[in-house]
């Protein structure tokens, strides 16, 4: 699923979306297409600057997203956000469809930025399990996939507008099967929570290395810490403190696997003035030491083969 790499400040390859040598905002491919384009290759951990939807049509291997491993079962659909690090290990005979699209594609085809963020499909913080499509939906969703392929290969001036419509229907149907929380509390919190959480996540991406306290984010968002925690817990199933901790842990893991930085250097990089505090924080959060995580995952990454 890799395309053109873009240089970054670390060793994780980051890819932009290209099709037939040209930068694009949308593409749809099968495993066979990828094999024809890139041949038999080993998939290394990498990220994209675009969204990825991967539909596994059979028992096709394993998918690792931000160091969590998932078995790719028949009719599992995975959703990977821009910036997430992932890696696919395919088995022989893997059959998949991959839909790739940028934020620009969404905007240009009438899909607002809130459309994706209000869904339960894409995440940038750990929680990225696949959905499992029920057999009753497979036929209809396969039709939408075929229509997207058909339009993508056409020369119709309005083909991307049509693809945008089919993609929207496809994602809405997928969203029905995403895990959701039952809510019986304050409906006002439920209504405004999505907007607040979106702003919190944007702020978290900018400030997680500097701000480790919920109160810092609450003050910037002009709400109380309790209100912020409640809104996030309602929509995400986790409170603000957990999301802050998970974002710090995720960045530390990325640097631990994809750079040669020492634990001390990584601790400073994610905002800890005392490396020993970072080590305790990581072990308390993950249940294992940072050094042990780093050694174990490096062995796994070098001992497995991809397709």
Residue 298 pLDDT: 67
Give the position of tokens 């925690």. 229
Higher-confidence residue of 33 and 220: namely 220
Whole-prediction pTM = 0.76
Phi, psi for residue 69 in degrees, rounded to 5: -100, 135
Q: What percent of the chain stands above pLDDT 70? A: 84
Residue whose token pair is 């999505």: 194
The pLDDT tens digits of the residues spanning 111-124 come to 876 788 777 788 76
pLDDT at residue number 193: 64
192 has pLDDT over 80: no
Domain boundaries, the chain: 4-175, 187-303
Query: What is the pLDDT, as a whole number, of residue 275?
Result: 94
CATH number, domain 187-303, options 2.60.40.10, 3.40.449.10, 2.60.120.260, 1.10.10.60:
1.10.10.60
Q: Mean pLDDT, the chain, as a whole number?
A: 84
Integer Cα distance of 201 and 199 in angstroms: 5
The yes/no answer on whether domain 4-175 falls in CATH 2.60.40.10 is no
The pLDDT, as a whole number, for residue 227 is: 92
Write the burial class of residue 18 (CB in 10 Å: 0-12 exposed, 13-18 middle, 19+ buried): middle
- With 60 as the cut, is the pLDDT of residue 253 above it? yes
Residues 6+ positions from 261 with CB-CB distance below 8 Å: 255, 269
What's the pLDDT tens digit per position in 38-63?
Answer: 666 667 788 888 999 999 999 888 89
């Amino acid at each position: 699923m890799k395309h053109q790499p873009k240089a970054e400040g670390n060793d994780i390859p980051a890819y932009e979306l290209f099709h037939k040598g040209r930068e694009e905002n949308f593409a749809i491919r099968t495993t066979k297409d990828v094999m024809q384009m890139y041949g038999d290759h080993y998939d290394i951990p990498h990220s994209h600057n675009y969204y990825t939807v991967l539909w596994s049509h059979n028992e096709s291997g394993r998918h690792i997203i931000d160091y969590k491993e998932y078995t790719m079962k028949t009719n599992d659909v995975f959703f990977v956000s821009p910036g997430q690090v992932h890696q696919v290990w395919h088995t022989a005979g893997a059959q998949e469809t991959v839909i790739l699209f940028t934020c620009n594609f969404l905007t240009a085809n009438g899909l607002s930025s809130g459309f994706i963020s209000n869904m339960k499909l894409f995440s940038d913080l750990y929680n990225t399990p696949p959905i499992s499509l029920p057999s009753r939906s497979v036929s209809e969703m396969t039709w939408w996939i075929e229509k997207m392929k058909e339009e993508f290969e056409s020369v119709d001036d309005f083909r991307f507008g049509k693809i945008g419509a089919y993609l929207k229907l496809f994602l809405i149907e997928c969203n029905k099967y995403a895990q959701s929380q039952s809510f019986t509390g304050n409906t006002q919190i439920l209504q405004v929570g999505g907007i607040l959480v979106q702003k919190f996540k944007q702020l978290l991406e900018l400030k997680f290395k500097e701000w480790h306290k919920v109160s810092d984010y609450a003050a910037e968002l002009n709400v109380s810490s309790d209100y912020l925690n409640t809104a996030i817990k309602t929509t995400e199933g986790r409170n603000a403190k957990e999301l802050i901790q998970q974002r710090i842990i995720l960045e530390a893991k990325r640097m631990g696997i994809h750079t040669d930085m020492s634990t001390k250097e990584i601790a400073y990089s994610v905002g800890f003035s005392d490396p020993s505090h970072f080590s305790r924080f990581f072990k308390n959060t993950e249940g294992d030491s940072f050094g042990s995580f780093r050694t174990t995952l490096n062995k796994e990454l070098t001992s497995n083969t991809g397709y």
